[in-house]
Amino acid sequence: MLFKETELQGAFVVELEEKHDHRGFFARTFCAKEFEQHGLKPVVAQCNLSYNYKKGTLRGMHYQLAPAAETKLVRCTKGGIYDVIIDMRPESPTFLQHFGVELTGDNRRALYVPEMFAHGYQALTDDAEVIYQVGEFYTPGYERGLRYNDPFFNIQWPTEVTEISEKDMNWPLLRATVVGGTV
C-alpha cells in the first residue's frame, strides 16, 4: 500500500500497490503493521457497506465523540464518490479544515479518516457502492454531524444533491454546533 498524507494532519489517501501478472493483479487493501508504521489506528470493529441508487446522493457529515470516536477506511468498490472529511479536533493545526478526494471502483483508492473527523460523500454515479472499515462500534448517543452545505466550510460538491436523508439535511450549522458545545 502507498500512504499519501493529505493536508489534514493524520488523514491519508491509501493507494494499492498492485502486483500484476497474466491473470490480473493482487494487492493488499489493509495491513495492521503498515497502518501502525504510519501512526494510524489499525483497529476494525465493524465493516459496513453503503449502496447508492442515484448519482447526486449525499451521505454525511458524520462523526462520533469520545469514548466512541471512530476511525474509518473508506473505499468505493463500484462507481464513484466524492469523499469529504472535516477535522473536528480543536487541538489540531488543521481544525475545521476540509479535504475532498474522488474514490472510484477504477482508481481503487481509499481514504483513512482519523478519529474526530466529520465524514461524508456524494455519489458521482448511479449504483455507487462504498465499503467502510470502522474502528469503533456505532454508538448513537455519541453521534454528531454537520450540515453538508454549511457556508462556513463552503464545500464544493461536484454535482447537485439529488437524494439526502432528513437527518443529514438537518444537522446544525457549525456556529450552532460550537455555541452548543458539541464539537
Q: Indicate which residue of 62, 82, 98, 121 is catalytic.
A: 62
- 95: exposed, middle or buried (C-beta count within 10 Å: 0-12, 13-18, 19+)? middle
Active site includes 20? no
Report the distance separating Cα 13 and Cα 67, nearest Å. 25
Catalytic residue among 63, 82, 121, 132: 132
Task: Name the DSSP class of 108.
Answer: -
Contact (CB, 8 A) for 46 and 137: yes
- Name the residue type at position 159: T
The yes-or-no answer on residue 38 being catalytic is: no
Backbone angles phi and psi of 110, in degrees to 5: -130, 160
User: Which segments of 53-181 are extended strands (E)?
Assistant: 58-64, 72-78, 80-87, 98-104, 110-113, 117-123, 128-134, 143-145
Neighbours of 181 (CB within 10 A): 6
Q: Which are the catalytic amino acids?
A: 62, 132
